[in-house]
Every structure is written in structure tokens, then in C-alpha cells.
Amino acid sequence: MTDSPNGIVPPPAETYHAAHSHLQAVLQRGRFAITAEIGPPRGANVAPIRRKARLLRDWVDAANVTDSQSAVVRLPSWAGCLVAMQEGVEPVMQILVTRTASPCKATCWAQRHWAFPTCCC
């Protein structure tokens, strides 16, 4: 039996760490996180990402920005994350892991350089 209204028992306070992102903070509080997916456009036009980010901004805790969606060349995930951040949406940068490490290394550098809070491979 718990005292929590949603039945989730949070971990002891000493196991908490300072959250690096809004998404992490939501999950640490034991809340249900709402995310959405923003698929980058084919080409370099960022207007579709801006439009999607503005629509999602007040409704999600974070938005996944996909990488190489549908196995076709699209705007890279890191570029879409920059645009989402500019529009007030916390991005989750996705990295497509390939046989060679070079693209992955470059994308990880971008994630650290622009301080995207969350990255998933």
C-alpha cells in the first residue's frame, strides 16, 4: 500500500540526482512523460520542423527528432534539434548507428557542443 495517489513509490531521496533536462525531471518525479516525434523534412528547409515544434510546444515534455527516417536522406537529427530548441521544445536527439563510427562520432560531438539534454542511439 502506498500514500501516492497514482500508486508509484518514488525512490529514496538520496538516490535522486539533479535533473539535466525537463524530461528527466518529469521521470524522476514518477510522472508519466508525454513525448512526440518530429520527423525531419527531405532537404534543408526547416520550416516544417518549426511548424511541428510550435504545435507541440505546450503539449509535450520532449520531442524525439528522428535520424534517417524511412532510410532516406533527410535533415540531420542535430539540425532538427536546434530548431526545436529555438521553438521552445526540449529535443531528444536520435542517432542512427551505422557500421562506421565516424557519423556517430560527429553526431555525438554535435549533441555535446549544443548541449542537447537527451540523446538516444
Residue 1 has what pLDDT? 47
Is 31 among the domain residues? no
Residue 104 in grid coordinates: 556517430
Taking the C-alpha atoms of residue 52 and residue 60, their distance in angstroms, rounded to an integer, is 12
Is 14 among the domain residues? no
Residue 116 in grid coordinates: 542537447
Is 2 among the domain residues? no
Structural domain count, the chain: 1
Q: What is the pTM of this model?
A: 0.69
Is 20 among the domain residues? no
Taking the C-alpha atoms of residue 109 and residue 87, their distance in angstroms, rounded to an integer, is 22
Is 24 among the domain residues? no
Could you report how far apart the first and last alpha carbons of the chain are, in Å? 37
Query: In a 3-state reduction of DSSP, which class is residue 65?
Result: strand
Is 97 among the domain residues? yes
Residue-by-residue pLDDT tens, the chain, 121 positions: 455 566 666 656 565 566 678 888 888 888 999 999 998 888 888 999 999 999 999 999 999 988 766 677 778 888 898 999 999 999 988 776 655 555 555 566 565 555 666 655 5
Enclosing domain of residue 76: 40-120
Is 84 among the domain residues? yes
